Structure 1
Amino acid sequence: MAPDTDPAALPQDADIRDALELDSLDFLTYVQTLSESSGCRIEEDDYPAFATIAGGADFLAVHAT
């Protein structure tokens, strides 16, 4: 993650990978952490939904148990 970035200040529609300078492994870790925390299985086909905070929140609101 970019050291001078405040994740709480990100716009809901900002591309997380660009804003936080995440590489592929960082993004995978992010999605896996959300999956474990929410109890929601997130498939690789679902990853594009997590490109933004709003998209991830919407996905989890519909799919989380």
Structure 2
Amino acid sequence: MTREEIRQTVIGALSDIAPETDPGTTDPRADLREALDIDSMDFLNFVIALHKRLQVEIPEADYPKLLTVAGATDYLAVKLGA
């Protein structure tokens, strides 16, 4: 899986969590909770969606690494060996 495919997966998961927003146009370094106005349950659902879509374990200690589109893409690229 390429970094772009991972980024698209991240954006797709965010679109499912916050369908009224367009995460693809969000600053990739912006805090997702603020930029998309999502709460802690929405963020947890985002992490679960990434786990299901990519079949990768994401420990709770790593959740802060997923707070931006860029951070999530970087983190998942390392986990997936992209």
**TM-score calculated relative to the size of structure 2:** 0.71
Please state how far the C-alpha of 1:64 moved relative to its aligned partner.
2.3
Quote the sequence identity (%): 42
Alignment-derived partner of residue 9 in structure 1: 25
Please state how far the C-alpha of 1:8 moved relative to its aligned partner.
1.0
CA–CA distance in structure 2, aligned partners of residues 64 and 6 of structure 1 = 25
**CA root-mean-square deviation:** 1.5
Alignment-derived partner of residue 61 in structure 1: 77
Q: Assess if the C-alpha contact under 8 Å between 1:17 and 1:23 holds in 2.
A: yes
Matched, 1:51 2:67: yes
Alignment-derived partner of residue 44 in structure 2: 28
The DSSP-based 3-state class of the residue aligned with 1:45 is: helix
Which structure dedicates a bigger proportion of its chain to helix? 2
The count of residues paired between Structure 1 and Structure 2 equals 64
Structure 2: any 5+ residue segments left out of the alignment?
1-17
Higher relative contact order (CA 8 A, sep 6+): 2
Per-residue CA deviation, residues 21-65 of structure 1 (Å, 9 max, x unaligned), is 111100000011011111110010010000000000001001027
Structure 1: any 5+ residue segments left out of the alignment?
none
**TM-score calculated relative to the size of structure 1:** 0.88
